[in-house]
Amino acid sequence: MRNHTELSEFILLGIPQTQGMETVLFVVFLFLYLFTLVGNLLILTAILSSPALHTPMYFFLGLLAVLDIILPAVTCPKMLLYLSGQSRVISYKGCATQLFFYHFLGCAEACLYSVMSYDRFVAICYPLRYSLIMRPEVCVGLVVGAWLLGCVHGSILTSFTFRLTYCGPNRVDYFFCDIPAILPLACEDTSLAQTVGSTAVIFLGLLFWFTICFSYTHIGIAILRIRSTEGRKKAFSTCSAHLAAVLCYLAPVVIIYLQPTPNHLVDATVQIFTNIVSPMLNSLIFSLRNKEVKCSLKRVYHKVILVSQE
């Protein structure tokens, strides 16, 4: 990041076309944010407290819950502050930090979804070799790779965005610092930054799509080969929650990048879904669709009740 910029801060204008609705939005987003935190903390508690859930699938699910706790924290607290009447100003370094962690964690989560789909592919298609293929060091290596790729992705986008000169204006027509909202404020040519950003997103999208399609194509073929109806249902139930979470993650991305004419209100709505609603839905999907998680949560609840009675 260069020091030649003349701006020391940006002003976040918020969600487009929502002037006068700050109080209502504050209450709604605060509820969603708290629900997201509580839901994902419960999933983490269930996994950590039950030895039966110390398997690769739940290891990845626990890490997804961690990401779903951290990712909303990148944008939501600042948004809640200015919706409650506090300052809309964000420092130059704070803006760069927000942009980096948003893309870093978003990329890491996309990679983790791909890893989870590979895990389900191995479990369904190679059940006898599952424990050998998905041994602990392989699981840790896949997760570390996902976080490293996310870090590289976020670093590239942030460096190419904030190496530009920003000398005014400093009013960001959005609710957080994202590349499409920041680049128009630059005082020099942004074509290189736009090209790098588009290339990085396309590369990540193709990698994500390839892994998901490859895994679930083979999973579907393997399920169709199972003769018993109960066996098919059991195999499908092991990956239905993950598939639902993937669809919730993919749908906003498709809307943003395939809409014929960019619309700030639509983009903001979709980003809010990605930042707050999707992490909340993940906690619901994986807790309601998973018997083991529900049983573990019940045991934790009964233990808490017993402790409180003593």
What domain range is 285 assigned to? 9-309
**Residue 90 forms part of a structural domain:** yes
The amino acid at residue 55 is T
Instruction: List C-alpha distances in Å: 279 to 5, 33, 55, 115, 156.
Output: 35, 9, 22, 18, 25
Residue 151 counted as domain residue: yes
Strands 9-12, 171-172: pairing kind = parallel
Position 144 in a domain = yes
Cα separation, 289 vs 83, whole angstroms = 35
The tens-digit pLDDT sequence of the chain (310 residues) is 444 446 788 999 888 777 888 899 999 999 999 999 988 898 888 888 888 888 898 899 899 999 999 999 999 999 999 889 888 999 999 999 999 999 999 899 989 989 988 998 898 888 889 999 999 999 999 999 999 999 999 999 999 999 888 887 888 888 889 888 888 888 888 888 888 888 887 788 788 888 888 888 888 888 878 777 776 777 676 677 777 778 777 777 666 655 666 666 777 777 888 888 888 888 777 766 667 777 776 776 666 666 555 5
Residue 115 domain flag: yes
Amino acid at 115: V
The C-alpha atoms of residue 231 and residue 192 are separated, in whole angstroms, by 53
Nearest to residue 274, comparing CAs of 150, 110, 145, 120?
110
169 cis-preceded (ω within 30 degrees of 0) = yes
Q: How far apart are CA 44 and CA 22, in angstroms?
A: 32
CATH at 153? 1.20.1070.10
Q: Is residue 4 part of a domain?
A: no
In this structure, the strands spanning 89-91 and 171-172 are: unpaired
Tell me how far the alpha carbon of residue 151 is from its chain's centroid. Answer: 14
Does residue 2 fall inside a structural domain? no
Kindly state whether residue 282 falls inside one of the protein's structural domains.
yes
124 belongs to a structural domain: yes
- Residue 207 burial by Cβ neighbours in a 10 Å radius (0-12, 13-18, 19+): middle
The answer to whether residues 39 and 46 touch, using CB atoms and an 8 Å cutoff, is no
Q: How many domains are contained in the chain?
A: 1
Cα of 56 vs its chain's centroid, Å: 20
